[in-house]
């Protein structure tokens, strides 16, 4: 059997990888800081490169948005910890709400910026749909025992309600009207308890 072909790596490809990563991190950092529509000039300045390198490495801003969405998904995934399904409901719920609130609060600056670009960006719309799908899968993984007690229609309706109550739009509605993180968590905790504990 033939040995697998080894693709040589050199300094140039390593530099290109680092530059691409720096551009993506620069964009996400600017968004985290509240710059909702950072220009290519500002992204380049933050990354410490010339503006032309953005288009050299990504071609257009849509490709950059796609790469940034992938990196953002990695950042959010790193915040998710295993919650054993055999734990009591109250403990699973407390862990889930704490984790979920941290994810939602962390993603808020990037999400607000994404809202401005989504109508024009298929990559960002796909990223939002993928995040929502992962969120529903997470709910099922943590609260499968409770959901499995319901009939098909009730389960679907309850899952949709849980996804909405644990979604960014609900979180932002609570936070942008002056509620603290702790108060917003309490709302999520109460909503999930009412939807699942009965």
**Whole-number Å distance between alpha carbons of 105 and 185:** 11
Same domain for 92 and 186: yes
pLDDT at 15 over 90: no
What is the DSSP secondary-structure string of 16-71? HHHHHHHHHHHHHHHHHTT-SS--HHHHHHHHTS-HHHHHHHHSSHHHHHHHHHHH
Q: Is residue 83 part of a domain?
A: yes
Q: 171 and 105 in contact (C-beta within 8 Å)?
A: yes
- Assess if residue 3 is contained within a domain: no
Are 43 and 89 within one domain? no
Supply the pLDDT for residue 19: 92
Residues 110 and 186 in one domain: yes
Does residue 90 sit in the same domain as residue 27? Answer: no
The 3-state DSSP class for residue 138 equals helix
- Domain contains 64: no
The DSSP line for 75-134 is HHHTT-----TTS-HHHHHHHHHHHHHHHHHHHHHHHHHHHHHGGG-HHHHHHHHHHHHH
- Rounded to whole angstroms, the Cα distance separating 161 from 130 reads 18
Statement to judge: residues 158 and 82 lie in one domain = yes
Same domain, 54 and 80: no
Find the domain containing 166 and state its range.
74-196
Examine residue 68 and state whether it is found in any structural domain, yes or no.
no
What pLDDT shows up at residue 197? Answer: 87
Residue 9 has pLDDT above 70, yes or no: no
pLDDT score at 5 = 44
Q: Which of 9, 21, 196, 37 is nearest to 117 (CA)?
A: 37
Give yes or no: residues 49 and 142 share one domain.
no
- Are 55 and 79 found together in one domain? no
* Residue 154, in any domain of the structure: yes
The enclosing domain of 21 has a CATH number of 1.10.10
Give the sign of the dihedral formed by CA 45, CA 47, CA 50, CA 53.
negative
Same domain, 181 and 137: yes
pLDDT digits (tens, 9 = 90+) for 22-63: 999 999 999 989 888 888 899 999 999 999 999 999 988 889
Q: Residue 1: inside a domain, yes or no? A: no
- Please indicate, yes or no, whether residues 156 and 78 belong to a single structural domain of this protein: yes
3-state secondary structure of 188: helix
Summarize pLDDT for 85-124 with one digit per residue, the tens: 999 999 999 999 999 999 999 999 999 999 998 999 999 9
Position 123 in a domain: yes
Does residue 69 lie in a domain region?
no
**Secondary structure of residue 4 in the 3-state scheme:** coil
The pTM of the full predicted model, rounded to 2 decimals, is 0.83
pLDDT score of 3 more than 60: no
């Amino acid at each position: 059997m033939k040995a697998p072909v080894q693709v040589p790596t050199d300094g140039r490809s390593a530099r290109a990888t680092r530059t691409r990563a720096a551009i993506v991190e620069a964009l996400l950092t600017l968004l985290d800081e509240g710059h909702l529509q950072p220009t290519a000039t500002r992204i380049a300045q933050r990354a410490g490169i010339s503006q032309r390198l953005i288009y050299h490495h990504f071609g257009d801003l849509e490709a950059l948005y796609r790469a940034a969405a992938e990196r953002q998904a990695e950042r959010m995934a790193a915040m998710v910890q295993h919650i054993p399904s055999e734990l009591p409901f109250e403990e699973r719920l407390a862990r889930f709400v704490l984790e979920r609130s941290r994810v939602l609060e962390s993603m808020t600056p990037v999400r607000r910026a994404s809202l401005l670009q989504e109508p024009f960006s298929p990559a960002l719309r796909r990223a939002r749909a993928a995040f929502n799908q992962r969120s529903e899968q997470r709910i099922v993984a943590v609260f499968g025992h409770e959901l499995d007690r319901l009939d098909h229609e009730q389960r679907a309706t309850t899952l949709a309600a849980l996804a909405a109550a644990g979604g960014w739009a609900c979180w932002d509605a609570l936070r942008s009207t002056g509620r603290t993180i702790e108060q917003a968590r309490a709302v999520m905790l109460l909503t999930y308890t009412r939807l699942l504990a009965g």
